[in-house]
Amino acid sequence: MRYTSKVIELVERYGLVGLLVAIGIFFKFNSATPQFGSSANITNILTDQSLLGILAIATVIPLVAGQIDLSIGPTAGFSGVVCAGLMSKSGWSLGAAVVAAIALGLAVGVVNGLLVAKAGIPSIIATLGIASVISALVLAYSKGLSITTGISPKLIGLGAGKWIGLPKLFYFFVLCAIAVWYGLERTPAGKDLYALGSNPRAALLVGIRVPRRVFSAHVIAGGIAGGAGILLVANVGSGTPQLGPNYTLPAIAAAFLGATTIQPGRYNVWGTVAAVFFLAVSVNGLTLWGASPWVNQFFDGAALILGVGFGLYAGSLRRRGVGAARVTPAEPAEVNPEPPGAGPDNSVGAAAHPISQ
Amino acid sequence: MKPATIDGPRTAVAVRGLSKRFGNTQALDNVDLQLTWGEVHALVGGNGSGKSTLIKILAGVLSADEGSLDIDDVTTDLTGHRPEEAARAGFRFVHQDLGVFPILSVADNLGLGGQFVTGPTGSIRARASRERVREVLRRLDLDVDPQALASTLSMPQRALLAIGRALQDVDEQHRAILVLDEPTAALPAEEAGELLRTLRRLADAGHSVVLVSHRLDEVRQAADRVTCLRDGRNAGTLDAADLTEPKLVELILGGKINVTTGAGRIARSEAPVLELRHVSAGPVRDVSFTLRPGEIVGIAGLLGSGRTELLEAIFGVRRINSGDLLVRGEAVRFPTSARMKSHGVAFVPEDRGTGGVFPEHSVATNMTVGQSRRYFRRGWFRRRLMVAEVTRDLTRYSVKAPGAQAGIETLSGGNQQKVVLGRWLRTDPAILLLDEPTQGIDVGAREAILGLIAEASRKGMAVVLASSEFEELTRLSDRILVLCRGQVTQEVHDQTTAHELLEIVLENQRLTR
């Protein structure tokens, strides 16, 4: 009994990673996809997914706080176009354009944050509206044309180059993942964010500054999206107005699928990273095998639904495994069923062996 | 079969030998309940006495471990009782949450759950439905327009509507056993009376009415007989005529009172740690009082008196419209929960589910939420230190849990509440605000929690205790403020009994009308 529950837990935690490895090995040795294991293909995957990965991680932050940001992709596109435009049309230096692009992302985050935390508009509505407004602003600024000239070659070099065998963009992704993981999992602010995502009313009543935390979650997400916009220019080599919104769904799909793995039941950075690569490797392998380009969108949509569905299922399993009859909040139960193993014996045992520091 | 006739208090419905166990808790132990047609039978008992379990078993929502049900000489085994059977046997239930939808019309509210009159295509036949609704309303003497939105109805009218919905498919030849779970909890006393008169009429029409209630005055007023449960056992069945309130209180509490008492250890000379000057906030009007270290001030009031709102205002989660809030003599200008926390104020809210517990998180996280800064040292979160300290605190606050890392859902309601309380106690607050701290938890956990509160207050913590359990208030409080319609109408200094306090509160309620 104990043993099987441990196995189930391991499968839950690392199942997606295991699946990712299995798929990778399958395509590597599949005679129909000889290109899969080539270094060019792997570089390709790492480069492309670095951008999506950063945006998925940005999406995780508001999700942890119980909010969703649908404007992450458009914000990245916006900041990319403006970054390219400032260099190309206004002759700004690379450094100044980079600062401006990040500031722009932060500004979008501030607007989202104010709408959600101050005005109390549900984030799904606020950020959906902002996403549309941003698309309009991008069109107005770019007139719908890609900005291809006058972009700093240093920036474009970032998109193509490698450092010690790995694409440069990948390092940004890793840095971003570590920073956000640290912030969410290892700082008091991150703990507060998880708490208020789980029960905002209770969070308020333990003295957490709920509106401020929700606000900053949106601002940080916006800032990361702004930074990702610059890398988007580096990757594509131009400021392309249509690109941003394409990232919204894949980023959200990865974040939701990521919530079923590594730390199942909560939005988490490493789960999201695993989900990004799981989706990318699957799609890449299938495409090389001859699948049509539409598998990509199909996978994103399926991942989103499966991610949420599996999360619900796993959650109910966890609860069922825990005790016979759970006290539902709806009925202030008079009877408090004690779960097996919660008897006095166990608590005495727990007290007798305090985990030493 | 000849339908039973109404000829005196013949036992019509008998529950025999009902037992039910949840894990380590014996919720019901060989309980009997006998009802007659034409009577209002009150079912009373404290939290955790087993009332709800009994009702759920009758409704077929829970299955019994043992027990049978006789209705007019037909015996049913309660171990495999199903909701359909309960309905067929004539049981009808009105729950505390009435299930009346304010945005729907009276007619639609009655029609929910397959009671609309429909045509061959399944569409609702409006006229026929309306006729039916009129008929139901007439039987209940509920004089409202079927097309009116339920939101325009008064609370007792809504309760009647819920009763009407429960009884609408019982025609005049059949009899129902109508079970009402605290139907008057949300009603002011005078409106509750209206509802109770309807119950009496239903009983007079031959039905059997079971009334679950915490309000002892209305039990005396409305019931013919009273059955009391205590700790899952029969504590006795009495004729309401023989009943006095002290007797009823004794039945419910079993005479074993005064395990933990506060009282009598405040240094009166000490400066107040909290002071309210003419505070008005929402329904709370012009409340002033002071609180000294080590003092427990009780807030007594009926539902809707503003107890919760007063505590919320002090904790900065409800806007204070006028008046001053002083902590250690200094006015707090714009109180927010974070600011009050930094002033050493702690708040245990009424509803554990929505305001206390963080679901799907561990016991350790629940215990330390909002305090994680103390484990954050040199840029790193000291997780092991946190787990070690929480493990120690689980013993300290006698929380029965599989361990610090276990999910909060693995704990019983009482132990969850100990975690919520312990979360604050471990920060050594100067002022502890408690709103119904023992609501919906079993007797053992309740004693543990009252003990923790008394112990903390002995160490100098000041406590404001709002509770609808008067027995709890009189046991712990140094003095009790009677809150009526948002105002403090009386301050009780002397030792009182729960019963005397109830009298005082009801008296105040009458006077402030």
Give the end-to-end CA distance of chain B in Å, rounded to a whole number.
52
Contact A340 B23 (CB under 8 A): yes
Distance from CA of A11 to the nearest CA of B (A): 19
Q: Which two tokens stand for residue B211?
A: 């009334």
Q: Which of B25, B394, B439 sits opposite A335 (nearest CB)?
A: B25
Contact B25 A319 (CB under 8 A): no
Distance from CA of B312 to the nearest CA of A (A): 9
Contact B411 A198 (CB under 8 A): no
Contact A322 B359 (CB under 8 A): no
Q: What is the mean pLDDT of residues A43-72?
A: 95
Backbone phi, psi, residue B319, to 5°: -65, 130
Q: Which two tokens stand for residue B502?
A: 């109830």
Least confident stretch, A59-73, A110-124, A208-222, A261-275: A261-275
Q: Which of B336, B376, B384 sits opposite A187 (nearest CB)?
A: B376
Q: Are B6 and B37 in contact (CB under 8 A)?
A: yes
Q: What is the mean pLDDT of residues A300-322?
A: 74
Residue A190's alpha-carbon distances to A162, B41, B297, B460, in angstroms, are: 33, 54, 37, 34
B336 to chain A: which residues are within 8 Å by CB? 209
Q: Which of B359, B391, B394 sits opposite A199 (nearest CB)?
A: B359
Tell me: pLDDT of A171 over 50. yes
Q: For chain B, what is the mean pLDDT?
A: 83
The residue assigned the tokens 């500054």 is A209
Interface membership of A321 toward B (CB under 8 Å)? no
Chain A residue with the nearest C-alpha to that of B390: A354
Distance from CA of A320 to the nearest CA of B (A): 10
Chain A residue with the nearest C-alpha to that of B403: A350
Domain boundaries A20-321, corresponding CATH code = 1.10.3470
Determine whether B221 is exposed, middle or buried from the number of CB atoms within 10 Å of its CB (0-12, 13-18, 19+): middle
Contact A350 B439 (CB under 8 A): no
Interface membership of A199 toward B (CB under 8 Å)? yes
Sign of torsion, CA A224 A226 A232 A233?
Answer: negative
Q: Which two tokens stand for residue B287?
A: 């409340």
How does pLDDT run across A260-284, given as a tens digit for each residue? 888 888 899 999 999 999 999 998 9
Interface membership of A266 toward B (CB under 8 Å)? yes
> What ipTM score was computed for the predicted complex, to two decimals?
0.76
Contact A343 B24 (CB under 8 A): yes
Contact B338 A315 (CB under 8 A): no
B197 by DSSP, 3-state: which?
A: helix
* pLDDT at site A140: 95
High-pLDDT (> 90) share of chain B, %: 29
Q: Which two tokens stand for residue A102?
A: 């990040």
Distance from CA of B409 to the nearest CA of A (A): 7
* pLDDT at site A232: 95
Contact B410 A322 (CB under 8 A): yes
Tell me: pLDDT of A342 over 70. no
A206 to chain B: which residues are within 8 Å by CB? 337, 341, 369-370, 423
Backbone phi, psi, residue B504, to 5°: -60, -45
* pLDDT at site B441: 74
Contact B337 A207 (CB under 8 A): yes
Q: What is the mean pLDDT of residues A324-342?
A: 35
Distance from CA of A257 to the nearest CA of B (A): 18
Chain B residue with the nearest C-alpha to that of A334: B48
* pLDDT at site A34: 87
Q: Which residues have CB under 8 Å from A196's CB, separation 6+?
A: A65, A66, A203, A204, A208, A210, A213, A214
How does pLDDT run across B431-480, given as a tens digit for each residue? 999 998 987 776 677 888 999 999 999 888 999 999 887 888 888 898 99
B410 closest CA partner among A264, A347, A9, A65:
A347
Interface membership of A204 toward B (CB under 8 Å)? yes
Q: Which two tokens stand for residue A340?
A: 């097996």
pLDDT classification of A319: cutoffs 50, 70, 90:
low
The residue assigned the tokens 């990702």 is A228
Q: Are B397 and B420 in contact (CB under 8 A)?
A: no
Contact B369 A203 (CB under 8 A): yes
Contact B402 A346 (CB under 8 A): yes
* pLDDT at site B48: 65
pLDDT classification of A25: cutoffs 50, 70, 90:
very high
A340 to chain B: which residues are within 8 Å by CB? 23
Residue type, A48: D
Query: What domains, with CATH codes, occur in chain B?
Result: 12-100+175-253 (3.40.50.300), 101-152 (no CATH), 274-511 (3.40.50.300)
How many helical (H) and strand (E) elements, i.e. helices and strands, does chain A have?
A: 14, 2
Distance from CA of B130 to the nearest CA of A (A): 33
B407 to chain A: which residues are within 8 Å by CB? 318, 322
Tell me: pLDDT of A252 over 70. yes
Give the whole-angstrom CA distance, residue B47 versus residue B233. Answer: 13
Backbone phi, psi, residue A209, to 5°: -80, 85
Per-position b or e across A181-207, b if 16+ CB within 10 A of its CB: beebbebbbbbbbbbbbbbbebbbbbb
Contact B357 A195 (CB under 8 A): no
B44 to chain A: which residues are within 8 Å by CB? none
* pLDDT at site B210: 93
DSSP secondary structure, A294-337, as one string: THHHHHHHHHHHHHHHHHHHHHHHHHHHH-SSPPPTTS--S--P
* pLDDT at site A336: 37
Report the greatest alpha carbon distance in chain A.
74
Mutate to test the interface with B, among A326, A335, A346 (most CBs of B within 10 A): A335
Q: Which two tokens stand for residue B179?
A: 């079970």
Nearest-10 crossing angle of helices A344-352, B383-396:
130
Chain A residue with the nearest C-alpha to that of B444: A336
* pLDDT at site A331: 35
Contact A335 B381 (CB under 8 A): no
Interface membership of A122 toward B (CB under 8 Å)? no
Question: Where is B248: in which H helix or E strand?
Answer: helix B245-253
- Which residues in chain B show pLDDT less than 70? 1-10, 24, 46-48, 113-116, 171-173, 185-190, 214-216, 245-246, 253-269, 442-443, 513
Mutate to test the interface with A, among B350, B360, B392, B408 (most CBs of A within 10 A): B360
Q: With a CB-CB cutoff of 8 Å, which residues 214-243 of chain A face chain B?
A: none
Sign of torsion, CA A273 A275 A276 A278?
Answer: positive
Residue type, B50: G
Contact B357 A199 (CB under 8 A): yes
A346 to chain B: which residues are within 8 Å by CB? 400-403
A326 to chain B: which residues are within 8 Å by CB? 409
